Every structure is written in C-alpha cells, then in structure tokens.
Amino acid sequence: MRTPRVLALGLTVLALVGACSSGGTAAPSAGSSTGASAPASSGPKAPIRIGSDNFYESKLMGEIYAQALEAGGYTVERKFGLGSRQQRIPIMDAGEIDMVAEYVGSGLGFYDTTKITGDGAANAKELQTVLTPKKITVLGITPGQDTNAFVVRKDTADTLKLTKMSDLAAVQDQLKWGLPSDCDTNPLCAGALKSYGITYPPKQRSALGACDVPMAQALQGKAIDLAELCSTQPAIAQFGFVTLDDDKKTQPAENIAPLVRDDYLAKVDKAAFQAILDAVSAKVTTELLTTMGVSVAVDNKDVGEVAKAFLTEQGLIK
C-alpha cells in the first residue's frame, strides 16, 4: 500500500495500544477453528479473488487472509483498493471478487442502521440475514475491532470544551470538518451527525479518506479541526488527538469477518476453507490491529511484510 511517511512515532507501541479502543471480546462464529495454525485443506482449491476497500487496514486484512490461503494451497488474485463500501459492494454483488474482509457493524449499517448493536456477534448474525438472499456467507469474526471515531486536536478540545459528540452542535460552524468522501451516503456518518443536531453537510468540509494517513495529517496540520478516523489508527495516540465520546451510541461494534460468495464456496471444500480463515480471525485482537497499523501507517512498512510477520508470529504459516 502506498502511504506517505508521517512524523516519527514518539510513543511506544504499548502506549499506542493503551490509547486506542479496547475492542470487542466476541469469539469467532460457531464451527470456526481456534487452533494455533491454519489447517491445510485437502479438498479442491479454486483460485480466489480477494478485494478490499481503499484504506490501509482493509488492505492489510485482505493481505493477511490472502497469505493464509496461499499457504493452504490456494491461488489468490488481489484486487485491493476498490474504493469505499458504496463502491465495493456492487463489485462483489456482480461477482467480480469472491471475498472481502468486512467490518460487521458498518457492513450491517449499510443496509439497516436499526439493526446495529454494540455486540459484534449480533451484528454478524444480522449481517448474515441481510446477505443470505445475495448468496454471500459471513465467516467467523475477529475478537478485535476497529470502530469509527470522531477526533479533534487537544487544543480544539480545550478551547471549545469538547469531550463528547453532543458538544459539537453548538460550535459546528466554528470547525473545519474532515469527513470521508462517502459520508453523504453513509448512515453511520451523515446519519450519525444529524442525530447530534449537526447540520449536514457542514459549511466547511474537506472530503478525505476516513482511516487513511492524509486525514490524520490534515488534522495535525490544522487544515481541518475535526476528523473521522478509525479507533485503532496510530495517529490518535501519536499526535495526542482527543476521541469524542459517542454519547448517543451511534457507532456499532466493528469486529472483522471475511465475506465470501456462495458460488465460490461451492467450488471448494467449504469446511476446510473456512477453517483456514477462522483460525486467522481468531488471532486478530484490537491490540494487534493497532500494532500492525503502526508498522504500516507510521513505519511505512509494506503491507505484505506486515501480514507475513503477523501470520508467522501467530504460528499460522511457517
């Protein structure tokens, strides 16, 4: 993944982990593997096309799953950086990719915000209900998660006395907003802001990637005053940003799960295929998502290198 190098990290990884979200504790789905290594499949191994959204963590999770499947004998075609969820979903629906790593809360919220909860397993179950008619299967979720987070610089928080999202409505016209380009059509962005009495779209708005380095750089450089980032994003701790409390609980649990088209699963030994991916998902904690984010977004390491190190350290590949 191409990411600009940011300022040197002035904190240890442990400090970063402590500053980011604690993550969920949901276990992988029933029937998933939790063994120390991804099991090899002896059944048919059809080539698979794995997609991702256009931010670093989505690409990283796609790469982690891709390398685990390759170690199990599958041929993988990577189609990373497809765009936002709004752009990627039609691509998968059309059968142009077979699999993607999805954040189950936002994935569910794309279809029905009334169903989202703070429980990752519940979100995954409801997402499966939505996707069954589309012939897509939700595999086991990660115990770790990465939630949507609205953050400000500490000077902004102190000056305007901002601690929670409800504080924003009264000062919204004093802020330069950094919001993802898909916010207009994303109910967990535009819808969440409207629920807090924030006039949408804000008067001063920049459209940037929600979980990417340029958004964080713009906030640190004072080009914007508020940004939507991801809770595991290293920049939050690196620059001492203040995450505003989502006091109306508009954002769901965001555990990660592979979504796989049923027509692909029909070509392989489904149980063996799922066992490989569930074994990987079981090892992905919030702390490790944060640590890997430092490697990619701050240390500017190659996504493939970071994925391989994770899989090797967890005993999932040799």
Using the 3D structure, point to which of 219, 243, 267 is the last residue of a domain: 243
Domain assignment present for residue 5? The answer is: no
Tokens representing residue 302 in the block: 């190659």
Assign residue 209 the CATH number of its domain. 3.40.190.120
pTM to 2 decimal places = 0.80
Domain assignment present for residue 318? The answer is: no
According to DSSP H, which parts of the chain are helical?
13-19, 56-71, 85-93, 104-111, 120-131, 154-160, 192-195, 213-220, 235-238, 262-265, 270-281, 286-293, 303-313
Q: Which residues of 245-280 are buried (b: 16+ CB within 10 A; e: fewer)?
A: ebeeebbbbbbbbbbbbeebbebbebebbbbbbbbb
Assign residue 292 the CATH number of its domain. 3.40.190.10
Distances (CA, A) of 186 to 110, 190, 251, 265, 296: 7, 6, 12, 30, 26
Tens of pLDDT, residue by residue, the chain (318 residues): 333 333 333 333 333 333 333 333 334 443 343 344 555 556 789 999 999 999 999 999 999 999 999 999 999 999 999 999 999 999 999 999 999 999 999 999 999 999 999 999 999 999 999 999 999 999 999 999 999 999 999 999 999 999 999 999 999 999 999 999 889 988 999 999 999 999 988 989 999 887 778 999 999 999 999 999 999 999 998 999 999 999 999 999 999 999 999 999 999 999 999 999 999 999 999 999 999 999 998 899 999 999 999 999 999 999
Q: Which helix (H) or strand (E) holds 261?
A: strand 256-261
Question: What does 16-46 look like in DSSP terms, one character per residue?
Answer: HHHHS-----PPPPTT---SSSPPPP-S---
Domain assignment present for residue 139? The answer is: yes
Name every residue whose Cβ is closer than 8 Å to that of residue 207 and which is 6 or more positions away in sequence.
Answer: 179, 180, 181, 183
Using the 3D structure, point to which of 220, 243, 266 is the last residue of a domain: 243
